[in-house]
Amino acid sequence: MTSPSNKLYINGNWIPAADTFPIIDPATGDIVGDAADADADLALQAVEAAHAAFPAWSKTTAPRRSKLLYRWYELIMEHRDEIATLLTCEMGKPFPEAKGEVSFAANFVLWYAEEAKRIYGDTVPSNEPNKRITVLRQPVGVVAAITPWNFPAAMVTRKVAPALAAGCTVILKPAEQTPLTAIRLVELAAEAGFPPGVINLVTTSSPAEVGTVLTTDPRVRKVTFTGSTEVGKLLYRQAADTIKRISLELGGHAPFIVFEDADLDLAVQGVIASKYRNAGQTCICTNRVYVHESIAETFADKLGEAVSLLRVGHGMKEGVHIGPLIDEQALAKVERHVQDALQKGATLLTGGSREGDRGYFFQATVLNNATEEMQIATEETFGPVAPLFTFQTEDEVLARANNTPYGLAAYFFTRDIGRVTRMQEGLDYGIIGANDPAPSAAIQAPFGGFKESGLAREGGKYGLDAFLETKYISLAF
Ligand code: ADP
């Protein structure tokens, strides 16, 4: 593994901070590296650098921006295994999943290398013979990108690549749990040849202090954030005073509905894919499994059996399906949800406890007979626990699925085309998996939520919009 530099990247230079903070392997509790601990002053320096670099970068031709992005993509792919190792060691996900994430991350860079060349404007017919209406799309300006620990690589590139493609300059602040992957990605961006100040990296163990600078400095024109709904709301408020553009990818509480006509084996595999990936730590992970009462018993048996085969362990060990949770707090929350459900009448089909005496492991768990009174029915668990609820009618389950402040992802399995149509239109969610447990794998599709799950979309052509202003020019002659 290349040892990551514990420095900040500001204006094309790697500079030290007065302090560093340790990075912990959640599978062992061991320190696997350290990162520079930026304060408000260093964050301000990064804002200054990004602001100074913006005029030239915004005027760089689209093919040039595209070429640099393409080079960055190639470098990430060349170093894929090394980055994935870093990712597993600081975050815990199994190595094959980490490799998958690095490819996914690289593909955002490739996509936006291509998309950079396709930022088109419009000419609009005028009402008057001596006037012409032109619509330009221009970069919004300096972007602050604040990313979470659950996808240490993909959330960086899903934000930074479209920002750079649009002609924006960026200050990246990765999560304090997982800065090593971000540092490596930025090292490779530097190697790709982006000019000084175009990408800046600020790692910190004081996100509130640095975040305040990034969300209040008037030179930052756009904040793009993925993380908890609580922090998202705070950043939204902080950014309001200077009317920054803001994209928010926040929490979810995804329903997964299994109708009586579904292919049950496919649905079981679907729950496994959407619930246990990343140890249940994704914002689109299934939180509530609704099963039609006529098939509930069969489905519960099949799911319980399949989940009991999932292996928990260190992400670098072969054959492991589920790594550790990110920290003790995350583990305690999962444990609390399971205890609360069991006290309120749920039954355990498999799992239910911590595993091992080192690291933050929790067994792959299935709870039967879940009810709406349980914490797990409304709070995001962010862990490998699937609660099974039963339902009787389509209208009832649709209403129950929508009865949440969240609106990120929803899944359903059925073979009835009429029901597919009604459900996909009726669910108040930004991402629908119709017989598909993995809709987020598509880099070209719009990813984002309704309601309190967020604002704006990432991915595909939609992801570029968030970094562009629309300028209307009226020319009279
Ligand atoms: P989680 O609960 O999943 O850890 P958070 O919302 O706390 O999610 O973290 C997501 C990102 O938000 C991380 O980069 C974290 O450092 C950052 N963050 C947390 N609190 C603040 C804050 N007050 N201001 C700016 N960024 C913050």
Domain ranges of the chain: 7-250+453-476, 254-442
Centroid of chain to Cα 161: 14
Q: CB of 209 closer than 6 A to ligand 1?
A: no
Q: In what order do the strands lie in the sheet with 254-258?
A: 347-350, 365-368, 385-391, 286-292, 254-258, 409-413, 431-434
pLDDT in tens, 402-415: 999 999 999 999 99
Q: Which CATH class name applies to 7-250+453-476? A: alpha beta
Q: CB of 251 closer than 6 A to ligand 1?
A: no
What does the H/E/C string look like for 322-358? ECCCCCHHHHHHHHHHHHHHHHCCCEEEECCCEECCC
Q: In sequence order, which residues have a C-beta less than 8 Å from that of residue 74 and are 6 or more positions away?
A: none
Residues of the chain with pLDDT under 50: 1-4
> Is 283 labeled as catalytic in the residue annotation?
yes
Phi-psi region of 122 (alpha: psi -120 to 50; beta: other; left: phi over 0): beta
Active-site option among 97, 101, 115, 283: 283
Domains 7-250+453-476 and 254-442 share a fold: no
Active-site option among 90, 115, 187, 249: 249
Instruction: Look at residue 5 in the predicted model and tell me its pLDDT.
Output: 64
Q: What is the pTM of this model?
A: 0.97
> Is 249 labeled as catalytic in the residue annotation?
yes
Instruction: Look at residue 3 in the predicted model and tell me its pLDDT.
Output: 42
Q: CB of 152 closer than 6 A to ligand 1?
A: no
Say how many Å lie between the CA of residue 208 and the centre of ligand 1: 8
Judging by DSSP bridges, how do beta strands 220-226 and 245-249 pair with one another?
A: parallel
Q: How many CA atoms lie within 13 A of 332 on its CB side?
A: 3
Say how many Å lie between the CA of residue 392 and the centre of ligand 1: 40
Q: In sequence order, which residues have a C-beta less than 8 Å from that of residue 37 and are 6 or more positions away?
A: 17, 18, 19, 20, 21, 203, 204, 205, 206
**Assigned CATH topology for domain 254-442:** Aldehyde Dehydrogenase; Chain A, domain 2 (3.40.309)
pLDDT in tens, 173-223: 999 999 999 999 999 999 999 999 999 999 999 999 999 999 999 999 999
Residue nearest (by alpha carbon) to ligand 1 atom 22: 208
Tell me which of 21, 146, 176, 223 to substitute to probe ligand 1's pocket, judged by most ligand atoms within 8 Å of the beta carbon. 146
